[in-house]
Amino acid sequence: MCGIVGGIGKCDFRDYVLGGLKKLDYRGYDSAGLAYVKEGKVNLYKTPGTVEALASKVPAFEGAEIAIGHTRWATHGDPSEVNAHPQFSQGRLVYLVHNGVIENFRALKTRLKARGYSFLSQTDTEVIADVLEFHYLTNGKDALKAIRETEIDLEGSYACAIIFEGDEHLYFMKKGSPLLIGVGDKAMYLASDCLPMIKLAKSYVDLSDGDYGCLSPEGLTLYNEGRAVEPVYSERKIDDYDYDLRGYPHFMLKEIEEEPMVLSRLIDNYFDPESGEYLFDPSLLKAMKEADEIIFLACGTSHYASLYGLEFMEFYGKKASSYIASEWAYHPISLSKKPFYVLLSQSGETADLIACQKIINDEGRPNLAIVNVKDSTLSRRATYSCLIYAGLEVAVAATKSYIAQIGLMALLLGALTNSSSPVRHLEKLGEAIEDVIARKEDIHETAKKITGARDAFFVGRGSDYSAALECALKLKEISYIHAEAYAGGEIKHGPIALIEKGTPVFGLISEVDTALPLRNNIEEVKSRGAATYIVSSLSLSSGKDAFVTKDVKPYLNSFLKVVYGQYLAYYVSLEKGLPIDKPRNLAKSVTVE
Ligand code: M6R
């Protein structure tokens, strides 16, 4: 949520800032802005809407010395020009862009009002600018002192890039929201992640909470809690490969079709075929074995992936539960004596999950973060951390990361049970996904039939119910069709009242024990007018089914129904002409509660 780009030195800043904001737009935003310093003077441009709209307002600005840019996902105040960033202080001495939420902004506003400040915007960010300005003026225009004192005043999360009018440096501060410094040839950069800088930076510094400092064209000066800190430089963070559409029209399509490759990369990282050994940290496996309950916490798609983790732990004979992170954070009850927590998150930055992890860490409980982003907040703060190696996921709708999360949990099950079978099973799953990919046009044809639907339902039993939840989430988030998932047996207990003539209902069949009752459920809705589509596994299929997936191991069969659901959502959105990779109101990484 919110994207920050900035830099100082010799650089084509118009290109870098606008291009960089475009690269960050996967995070979700509804307004954009930038400021640059030329000949010591700050120039400011902002607009509601897109980076393209901003670009049309911004003239060429060769020779600029410093620039900052921002895409804003509105939290305080509507997505208007006045609320867009950069925000500036009352005396126009401070301009800044901010990602995060200032929790005590109302109290700070009251204090500032008493000092004669008034406000133009509804944002919490404007308050930071004014607090900075106040400390700047009371500290003889010492910007670093002003930042340190402001940090003490602020409660909440922030990553900020800051310009002080008349000062030759670019300043920053960070707590709770990601910010990265990039080291270039004749310039220094900063951004919310490395994407805007991959072509320019030779190395990076991942800022830690409490870090603040300044950039000059020659380098970085870093402090934490008032003390100078030696920066830790690391090499290139990602490959251009991930941020290249490689001929695909959308990242979502590319990412679905990377799923077989992602599974085999996952296996390569966690299993050594020579020795037949898994490569998990032995102390992680020991801690999981010793736990009396495994508790999964996650949000959205990651939560639906965790339902499989729960099932796998039950195969293993372990008591397990799965909770939505934003619920558990307010009711963190565990009756177990020795719980072990598994936190699943593609981004590793989801605020609700970070709140859970704080509770867990404060209690001194062990936890494993399963993330896609190396060095993300969750992974840094976890007792154990496992990467899912899905590669950068750009589309807001999670696809390959979901498959990789489940793949990782299947491998963990293999390691816990000393069985290499999950490795072979996942290889077969990859082949079966290739088969779905090869027949995607059949799914496209079904998608065309449901583009006009107001509602759609996905029905499954057992693991197909978990798959149905994910299929419904995919459809609603990118096609804007109201979609719900129901456990087959529940249909008669209420939802059947929603069935009208032509309502699309998808029945998912992967389990031998529930295949027949599920078919009966589908017959019941069909006889009330629903347009029904059965997606079944080959050994459980009938000639009339809408789509049949290859048979893999029973515990993996239902994932193929999710791949079907991913394609269905993609094609419905395509037919409706919607912004597939960046659906309205959504952000890739949900860094606010
Ligand atoms: O980064 P995370 O996995 O923690 O994100 C959790 C959810 O915000 C995320 O899965 C969301 O539901 C996706 N947009 C689903 O496609």
- Reference 163, options 215, 65, 96, 91; nearest CA is 96
Other Cβ atoms within 10 Å of 326 Cβ, number:
19
Rounded Cα–Cα distance for residues 483 and 31 (Å): 28
pLDDT at 225 over 80: yes
Of 418, 438, 458, which marks where a domain is finished? 438
Q: Is residue 590 part of a domain?
A: no
283 CA to centre of ligand 1 in angstroms: 29
d(CA 31, CA 344): 30
What predicted TM-score, i.e. pTM, was given to this entire model? Answer: 0.78
Q: Among the listed ranges 35-44, 193-202, 436-445, which one has the minimum average pLDDT value?
A: 193-202
Instruction: Give the CA distances from residue 47 to residues 33, 87, 128, 568, in Å, rounded to whole numbers and listed in that order.
Output: 6, 12, 21, 34
CB 425 within 8 A of CB 560: no
Q: Per-residue confidence at 238, pLDDT binned at 50, 70, 90?
A: low
Do 129 and 139 reside in the same domain of the chain? yes
**Does residue 495 have a cis peptide bond before it, meaning omega lies within 30 degrees of 0?**
no
DSSP single-letter state for residue 292: S
Residue that is last in its domain, among 403, 438, 473: 438
Question: Is 175 one of the annotated active-site residues of the chain?
Answer: no
Tell me the CB-side half-sphere exposure of residue 533, using CA atoms within 13 A: 24
Secondary structure of 448-465 as H, E, C letters:
HHHCCCCEEEEEECCHHH
CATH of the domain at 468: 3.40.50.10490
pLDDT of residue 239: 58
Residue 46 alpha carbon to ligand 1 centre in Å: 29
Band of residue 585 on the pLDDT scale cut at 50, 70, 90? confident
Alpha-carbon distance of 510 to 552, in angstroms, equals 10
First-to-final CA distance of the chain: 11
Distance in Å, CA 223 to ligand 1 centroid: 33
Query: 152-173, pLDDT tens digit by residue?
Result: 999 998 999 999 999 999 999 9
Residue 360: what pLDDT?
Answer: 96
Same domain, 490 and 515: yes
Question: Within a domain: residue 593?
Answer: no
458: tokens are: 């996905």
Strand intervals (E) in 550-588: none
350 CB within 6 A, ligand 1: yes
DSSP H or E run through 142: none
What is the number of the ligand 1 atom nearest to the C-alpha of 299? 6
Q: How far away, in angstroms, is 398 Cα from ligand 1 center?
A: 6
Tokens 């990118």 correspond to what residue?
Answer: 478
The whole-number average pLDDT for the span 468-491 is 96
Catalytic hit among 2, 160, 194, 214 = 2
Verify whether ligand 1 is closer than 6 Å to residue 471 (CB atom): no
Find tokens 């003239």 and name the residue. 59
Question: Where would I find the H helices in 29-142?
Answer: 51-57, 105-114, 125-138
Asked whether 74 lines ligand 1 (CB < 6 A), one says no
Give the Å distance between the CA of 346 and the centre of ligand 1.
7
Residue 421 is assigned to a structural domain of this protein? yes
CATH number at residue 155: 3.60.20.10
In a domain, 365, yes or no: yes
Judge whether 504 lies within some domain. yes
Q: In the annotation, is 2 catalytic?
A: yes
pLDDT at 195 over 90: no
Identity of the amino acid at 3 = G
Within this chain, do residues 412 and 385 fall inside the same structural domain, yes or no? yes
The phi and psi torsions of 518 (rounded to 5 degrees) equal: -70, -40
Asked if the model's pLDDT at residue 236 lies above 70, the reply is no
Ligand 1 within 6 A of CB of 405: no
If you take atom 4 of ligand 1, which residue's CA is the nearest one? 345
> Which one-letter amino acid corresponds to residue 188?
M
User: What mean pLDDT, rounded, does the chain reach?
Assistant: 94
Same domain membership, residue 403 and residue 271: yes
Residue in 301, 306, 570 to alter for ligand 1 test, most ligand atoms within 8 A of Cβ: 301
Average confidence (pLDDT) over 449-464: 97
Residue 368 lies in a domain: yes
Q: Tell me which amino acid residue 545 is.
A: D
From the list 409, 394, 533, the residue with the least C-alpha distance to 468 is 533
Q: Is the pLDDT of residue 76 over 90?
A: no
283 and 380 fall within a common domain: yes
Coil/strand/helix, residue 558: helix
Flag whether 346 is in a domain. yes
Same domain, yes or no: 315 and 391: yes
Residues 253, 231 share a domain: no
Rounded Cα distance, 185 and 203, in Å? 10
Q: Quick one: pLDDT band at residue 240, thresholds 50, 70, 90? A: low
122 and 232 together in one domain = yes
Q: How high is the pLDDT of residue 424? A: 96
Same domain, 127 and 22: yes
Distances from the Cα of 358 to the Cαs of 184, 236, 346, 491, 590, in angstroms? Answer: 35, 30, 18, 39, 17
- Is the pLDDT at 250 greater than 90? The verdict is yes
Q: How many CB atoms lie within 10 A of CB 158?
A: 22
The answer to whether residue 588 sits within a structural domain is no
Give me the domain span that covers residue 402: 242-438
Does the pLDDT value for residue 411 go beyond 90? yes
Backbone angles phi, psi at 396, to 5 degrees: -60, -40
Do 421 and 403 lie in a common domain?
yes
Lowest mean pLDDT among 66-70, 241-245, 495-499: 241-245
Q: Binning pLDDT at 50, 70 and 90, where does residue 403 land?
A: very high
Contact 476, 583 (CB under 8 A): no
- Choosing from 400, 415, 438, the residue where a domain stops is 438
Mutate to test the pocket of ligand 1, among 1, 73, 306, 346 (most ligand atoms within 8 A of CB): 346
- Average pLDDT of the segment spanning 540-553: 96
Same domain, 491 and 370: no
Q: What total number of domains does the chain contain?
A: 3
Same domain, 428 and 529: no
Cα-atom radius of gyration of the chain, to the nearest Å?
25
Instruction: Say if residue 561's pLDDT is above 90.
Output: yes
Give the separation between CA 538 and CA 357, rounded to whole angstroms.
42
- Decide if pLDDT at 237 tops 60: no
Dist. CA 328–CA 356, nearest whole Å: 7
pLDDT tops 90 at residue 1: no
